[in-house]
């Protein structure tokens, strides 16, 4: 029987060759001098061009949007030039590539952007737990500054500029990172958003910034080149607010009018959220466009999930780190290389561009 991951998929302005998506994966290997992608990063993405779609590692839209050492940006000419080499390499192999646009909000440290000072967030509430400084020292999160309305307007313009840069760098589109506890997600939770202006309080207000940003991205690129990532039941770096479910319901419903290329929905895996399975199924069902789902899929469970009609494509993260030719391995039911957590973040070739392809392994 045909494997459902290998039928073409219409996604916005594109037709993908398969439904095996490379998930966005922060690897912290940009050029230390300008945070531009390097030739090593070009090789890493080129190796993975057989994905139906590559979503790049999250890339900050401004210096203040950075949360970890050596993550790439998409706000300077040098960064655009570096990314252009990446997109050229992927396109030469007939791949599709979207860049994930990122502002980390409070999940940051002032040492990463000394000129901008403290991280910003909807409200001055520190994320629980520890983070890393620019010199990899482990410290508690700082209490962020509450972002002003003027700064919010500037941030929206930073996203717009990032979309223009993405276009100049030859990307097929952008994925708005509104998941995993970063800036846009912080607005959706009462625990991190205690604002009393038009960006806090009501469900509509908590979702306002996401749509203000999307309006700019769509204006620059067209809806068929814009996707969004949400993680309705996963809120790392913060205290989960069960009431946020209503915000996601509102967002999904409103997204239906936007006709975006796709929604990338991170599924629930662990934690204590009441009726989570039903809630997740209801949200996924409420979205009327193309759905990519991620988190913890194996080749088999991914195929089953697509066959069941719950999603159109599966994003693989850790398996794509260790298997540059993952689609081929899935299609041939070949063994997967195991991934090495120690080399996920930072470093050079090791654990990055030296995982073997099937052919070289057999030879
Ligand atoms: C090393 C690493 C880096 C990640 N970086 C990002 C990122 O930049 N943006 C994002 O949205 N998710 C990021 N994620 C989450 C992945 O996109 C994906 O959702 C997660 O790994 C679960 O999928 P998997 O079980 O197939 O690995 C990261 C995960 C890992 C393991």
| Helix (H) or strand (E) segment spanning residue 102 | strand 97-102
CA distance 63 to 113: 6
- Pocket of ligand 1 contains residue 26 by CB under 6 Å: yes
4-362 CATH pick, 3.20.20.70, 3.40.640.10, 1.10.1740.10, 3.40.50.1010:
3.20.20.70
In Å, the largest CA–CA distance within the chain is: 64
For residue 274, how far is its CA from the centre of ligand 1 (angstroms)?
24
pLDDT at 362 (0 to 100): 57
List the one residue out of 157, 163, 169, 151 whose CA is nearest residue 78.
169
Structure-block tokens of residue 208: 């306002």
Ligand 1 midpoint to CA 316 (Å): 8
* DSSP 3-state of 71: coil
What is the Cα–Cα distance from 201 to 203, expressed in whole angstroms?
A: 7
pLDDT of residue 3: 87
Which residue in the block uniquely carries the two structure tokens 């719950």? 310
Q: Output the pLDDT for position 1.
A: 62
User: By the 8 A CB rule, do 246 and 253 touch?
Assistant: no
E-strand stretches of 33-108 = 53-60, 97-102
The neighbour count for residue 191, using CB atoms within 10 Å, is 16
pTM for the whole thing?
Answer: 0.98
The pLDDT assigned to 360 comes to 75
Ligand 1 atom 11: residue of nearest CA: 24
Task: For strands 138-140 and 97-102, give the pairing.
Answer: unpaired
Residue 294 CA to residue 314 CA, distance in Å, equals 6
Distance 194 CA to ligand 1 centre (A): 28
**Residue 57 in contact with ligand 1 by CB distance below 6 A:** yes
- CB of residue 23 inside a 6 A radius of ligand 1: yes
| C-beta 235 within 6 A of ligand 1 | no
Among all residues, which ones are annotated catalytic?
182
Alpha-carbon distance of 262 to 70, in angstroms, equals 28
With a 6 Å cutoff on the Cβ, whether 179 touches ligand 1 is yes
Angstrom distance (rounded) from CA 79 to CA 86? 11
Count Cα atoms within 13 angstroms, Cβ side, for 56: 35
Q: Would you state the pLDDT for residue 271?
A: 72
Question: Mean pLDDT of successive 10-residue segments in the chain (363 residues)?
Answer: 90 98 98 98 98 98 97 98 99 98 98 97 97 94 98 98 99 98 98 98 98 98 98 94 96 98 93 88 97 98 97 98 98 97 98 94 58
- Taking the centre of ligand 1 as the mean of its atom positions, its distance from the CA of residue 150, in whole angstroms, is 32
Best probe residue, ligand 1, of 20, 21, 22, 25 (max atoms within 8 Å of C-beta): 25
């Amino acid at each position: 029987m045909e494997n459902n991951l290998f039928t073409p998929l219409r996604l916005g302005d594109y037709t993908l060759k398969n439904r095996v998506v490379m998930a966005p994966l922060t690897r912290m290997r940009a050029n230390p001098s300008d945070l531009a992608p390097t030739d090593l990063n070009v090789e890493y993405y080129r190796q993975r061009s057989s994905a139906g779609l590559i979503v790049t590692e999250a890339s900050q839209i401004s210096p203040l949007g950075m949360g970890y050492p050596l993550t790439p940006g998409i706000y300077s000419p040098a960064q655009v030039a570096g990314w252009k080499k990446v997109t050229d390499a992927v396109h030469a192999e007939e791949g599709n590539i979207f860049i994930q646009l990122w502002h980390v909000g409070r999940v940051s440290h002032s040492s990463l952007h000394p000129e901008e000072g403290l991280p910003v967030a909807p409200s001055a509430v520190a994320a629980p737990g520890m983070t890393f400084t620019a010199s990899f020292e482990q410290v508690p999160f700082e209490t962020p500054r509450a972002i002003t309305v003027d700064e919010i307007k500037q941030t929206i313009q930073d996203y717009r500029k990032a979309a223009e840069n993405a276009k100049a760098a030859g990307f097929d589109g952008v994925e708005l990172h509104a998941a995993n506890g970063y800036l846009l997600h912080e607005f959706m939770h009462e625990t991190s958003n205690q604002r009393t202006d038009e960006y806090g309080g009501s469900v509509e207000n908590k979702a306002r910034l996401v749509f203000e940003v999307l309006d700019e991205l769509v204006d620059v690129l067209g809806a068929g080149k814009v996707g969004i990532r949400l993680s309705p039941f996963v809120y790392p770096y913060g205290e989960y607010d069960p009431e946020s479910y209503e915000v996601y319901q509102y967002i999904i419903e409103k997204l239906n009018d936007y006709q975006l290329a796709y929604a990338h929905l991170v599924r629930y895996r662990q934690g204590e959220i009441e009726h989570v399975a039903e809630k997740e199924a209801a949200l996924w069902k409420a979205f009327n466009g193309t759905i990519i789902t991620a988190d913890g899929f194996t080749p088999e469970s991914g195929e089953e999930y697509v066959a069941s009609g719950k999603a159109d494509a599966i994003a693989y993260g850790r398996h794509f780190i260790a298997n540059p030719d993952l689609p081929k391995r899935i299609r041939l039911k070949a063994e997967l290389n195991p991934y090495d957590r120690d080399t996920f973040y930072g470093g050079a070739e090791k654990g990055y561009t030296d995982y073997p392809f099937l052919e070289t392994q057999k030879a």
